[in-house]
Structure 1
């Protein structure tokens, strides 16, 4: 075998073995980003017509064939094995150290692919559902605007890493839906716009409005009424014995 100018390997059968360089797979698989990792590697395998190796549709030829009454090594099998091992090496190189033990004993690319799917595909789907639910339930409550927006954005970034990004429109809807009644004027203005506001622009407007509310009322407390009520209830319950005895 000899290295070609294209970095592929020419097998003795005359066919070209595809070598996947590590630079083509910059994202390393972790327990949190299986969907994104798969979205990275799948087009690469399909583009080189190698997807069948990991899915098992390109099956192993017989190791030996009969020629002129003699059993000889099958070059097609040798080519298949070499290509499969190159794919396996690429998969191993594309996972983080913490994930490596999941496929350390895999003998073929199909085996490694299936092990990763079993280990992370269902977990990834569950994590996406959990994060989507968390995003839908996130409200400003007692948080300052900056902390509320930071929380929303961090959840959206986690979803993106899981391969389920939140589009700009949905993100704005989530923010406005949980910002609270004190910012009703801002929400109304955003809905009246002809174009969708960006997250950064919305953030500036909400922070400015929060500052405005504090300027016109130095005693303005961004904490919603329900949060204040909970604080009062907590205080009363913690001092119940003292109140009764008095």
Structure 2
């Protein structure tokens, strides 16, 4: 009876030691750039992904993953080794799982259901691209139309300029550029009693930006 208890204790201790050794080994295999990326991802991409900021979120994440050597896990260029029992495959899985967790932590609660069942970073990245890129483009088209039609009417100049700046910032945050100078949109929306001012600005040889109007 005593021998059986001793054997059981020995097996339990061996099993515990084995698990601890495995965990220690796995932790020791996590590269320093990966530790840095996972630990700081929310600071590197401070604004959670929503349907309105996909382009800028994507640019931020891709830049950080590239800087730390893991862009291939997002794009699918770095595939897992074919031998699923190899140490190389285990290391790839360790890295990719951490990257997937990092992606999860940078999306809003409304977006998370899109990728919660993803098993790789590339799968999550691809799903988000397929779901959100069309929305982002449609949003930019809507904003550009709004910028083209914006009118000062009876608003104070400060409020009018603030409205234009808000639209321009939203377009820029989506990763798109304005087709023409912002001053053109500002002048086009001014009422007739500003015609003299508009002529002066249009005939000016100096570049006029939004800050100049302020």
TM-score by length of 1: 0.68
Q: Distance in 1 between matches of 2:77 and 2:210?
A: 45
Compared CA separation, residues 178 and 110, structure 1 to 2 (3 A): same
More displaced 10-residue stretch of structure 1: 148-157 or 40-49: 148-157
Compared CA separation, residues 172 and 2, structure 1 to 2 (3 A): farther
Instruction: Provide the residue aligned with 2:49 in structure 1.
Output: 29
More displaced 10-residue stretch of structure 1: 188-197 or 100-109: 188-197
Count of matched residue pairs:
187
Deviation at 1:128, TM superposition (A): 0.6
Is the aligned partner of 1:107 residue 2:107? no
Compared CA separation, residues 10 and 190, structure 1 to 2 (3 A): farther
Equivalent of 1:92 in 101, 104, 113? 104
Compare the two structures and name the one with the higher helix fraction: 2
Compare the two structures and name the one with the higher strand fraction: 1
Instruction: Provide the residue aligned with 1:149 in structure 2.
Output: 161
Contact 1:33 1:161 in 2 (8 A): yes
1:142-194 residue CA offsets vs partner (Å, 9 max, x unmatched): 44433332322221122123222549x72211101111221112122222333
Is the aligned partner of 1:122 residue 2:142? no
Q: Distance in 2 between matches of 1:51 and 1:75?
A: 22
User: What are structure 1's unaligned runs of at least 5 residues?
Assistant: 4-8, 65-72, 204-246
User: What are structure 2's unaligned runs of at least 5 residues?
Assistant: 1-22
Compared CA separation, residues 76 and 150, structure 1 to 2 (3 A): same
Contact 2:56 2:175 in 1 (8 A): yes
